[in-house]
Structure 1
Amino acid sequence: MFLFFKTKRAFTLLELIIVIFITLILVTGAMQLLIAGNRNINIMWEQLAAQGQANFAINRFIDYTRTAEISSIGSYPIEVADSYELVFFANVDSDSLIEKVKFWLDTSDNIFKQSIIKPSIVSGQPSYSIASGAVETIFDLAHNVSNFNINKPVFLYYNQFYNGSGSALTNFNISEVRMVKLQLDLEKNNNKSPVPLSVESTILIRSLHNN
């Protein structure tokens, strides 16, 4: 009886190279999908964080600005009304003293901020001077605000004739202001998608409504 043994053919060098090449393609594709997925997740979380900051900044701006009123020393409700800074007086804690409130874009770090100055009493009179004992508290409201970089004002101002359409005031006197628009563009990296998150809100200053 004869026994026959069937030998197995080994892979040639060319076949091994082809297998390795195909494997590398599959691994590279899988890694690219994983990287793209992680990037999309990061973008989603960044957008959610930006949306949260924007909503917080808008709501805080609305709550404080619409209650602007004459200061504890008789100053006009609005002290500064610029493209990137708004300063006014408001009673933020319902006590007998009116605080000085400031919203502004810090162009050194692109953070939209708020400060509240609690006046001190000097010789029986309120004082907003830090040197005289007034206390200032500063809050960071929104990061990565790109308005200054794209030459877009943070604040726009309107008079009593504004009805939702028309141009903002230019070269105006502070006493003309009745409404203020806050507009923020938030973008962490302007070289990457997605497009910037833009939010805005226009409020009427109650104490100036009938003036």
Structure 2
Amino acid sequence: MRYSLGFSTLEVLVWLSVFTFTVGAVVSSILYFYRVNAVTLDQASSVASAQRGIDAMVRAIREAAYASDGAYPIVSLADDQFAFYADVDADPLIEKVRYYLNGSAVMEGVGDPSGDPPAYTGAETTSVVSQYVRNADESLVMFTYYDEEGAQVTDYADIAAVRFVTVNIVVDVDTGKLPDPFYIRSSAALRNLSGQ
């Protein structure tokens, strides 16, 4: 009787096909896992960045103050833009600050006064506060304004009535994939205008 200690050709082919199928399934699963988690990780990173940006924005709004040239603290109101004066860089002068929606990014524009008496005539320095903002897709206004009684201010020419501002943004890295859009809402009372 003859005993064979090796594998037959058929056994090798079956073993190779099972091994190849298993490796293919594992690699496909890993690639799928990273593809799905890449969107989730991007979304989480964008939401965290947006939250930090909104927190800084709300801190600046709370500190709205009369300008270095004596102008009223609020410059202009709009659904997707808010301009005011505040000290955002801890120097002796008050800067002109503007937050606005530019496509899918929330931007901050800061203008320093110059001259004596101070004037806000120079170009503003812009920076990105938050990316992947989908307010336009969701038909959501970024800024909502309220008076001292808590009633919504709808006449944007009446800047003297504003005492409270809410900021709403929607963050979504990829609108065609999960996770769903993330809504961030924050608010600020204009401290230097309370009681006026």
TM > 0.5 = yes
Determine the structure 2 residue equivalent to 1:138.
Answer: 126
1:202 aligns with 2:190: no
Distance 2:113 2:82 in 1: 18
In structure 2, the gaps of 5 or more residues are: none
Shift in CA distance, 9/197, structure 1 to aligned 2, threshold 3 Å: closer
> Using a 3 Å threshold, how does the CA distance of structure 1 residues 120 and 151 change in structure 2: closer, same or farther?
same
Per-residue CA distance 1:33-57 (angstroms, 9 max, x = gap): 1112212432342133113212211
Whole-Å separation in 2 of the counterparts to 1:52 and 1:142: 10
Identity of matched residues, %:
24
Contact kept? 2:167, 2:185, Cα under 8 Å: yes
Structure 1: 5+ residue stretches without partners: none
**Aligned match of 1:185:** 170
Greater RCO (CA < 8 Å, at least 6 residues apart): 2
Mean Cα displacement is larger for which, 19-28 or 63-72? 19-28
Q: Retained in 2: the 8 A contact 1:50–1:197?
A: no
Work out which of the residue numbers 119, 126, 148 in structure 2 matches 1:127.
119
Equivalent position SS for 1:149: helix
Whole-Å Cα distance in 1 between the matches of residues 59 and 86 of structure 2? 10
My pick for the range that moved more, 75-84 or 43-52, is: 43-52
Is it true that 1:114 corresponds to 2:108 in the alignment?
A: yes
Within 2, Cα distance between the matches of 1:142 and 1:111? Answer: 6
Shift of 1:93: 3.6
Distance (whole Å) between structure 2 residues aligned to residue 92 and residue 62 of structure 1 = 11
The answer to whether the aligner puts 1:159 opposite 2:147 as a matched pair is yes
Instruction: Give TM-score, length-normalised by structure 1.
Output: 0.79
How far has the Cα of 1:208 moved from its partner? 1.7
> For the residues of structure 1 that align with 2:99 and 2:135, how far apart are their CA atoms?
14
Match among 70, 79, 82 for residue 78 of structure 2: 82
Say whether residues 1:30 and 2:26 are aligned partners.
yes
TM, length-normalised to structure 2: 0.85
Residues 82 and 143 in structure 2, CA contact (< 8 A), matched pair in contact too: yes
How many residues are aligned here? 194
Please state how far the C-alpha of 1:168 moved relative to its aligned partner: 3.6
